Amino acid sequence: MSPYLALKTVHILSSTLIFGTGLGSVYYLWGAHRSRNLEALRLTTRLVVWADWIFTTPAIVIQPVTGAWLMLVLGYRFDSAWFAWVAVLYLVAGACWIPVVVVQYRLRGHAAAAAAWEALPRDYYRLMRWWIALGVGAFAAVLALFALMVFRPGL
| Residue range 107-135, pLDDT digits in tens | 999 999 999 999 999 999 999 999 999 99
The separation between the first and the last C-alpha atoms of the chain, rounded to the nearest angstrom, is 26
pLDDT in tens, 67-88: 999 999 999 999 999 999 999 9
What residues does each domain of the chain span?
3-151
Residue 155 has pLDDT above 90, yes or no: no
Contact 46, 25 (CB under 8 A): no
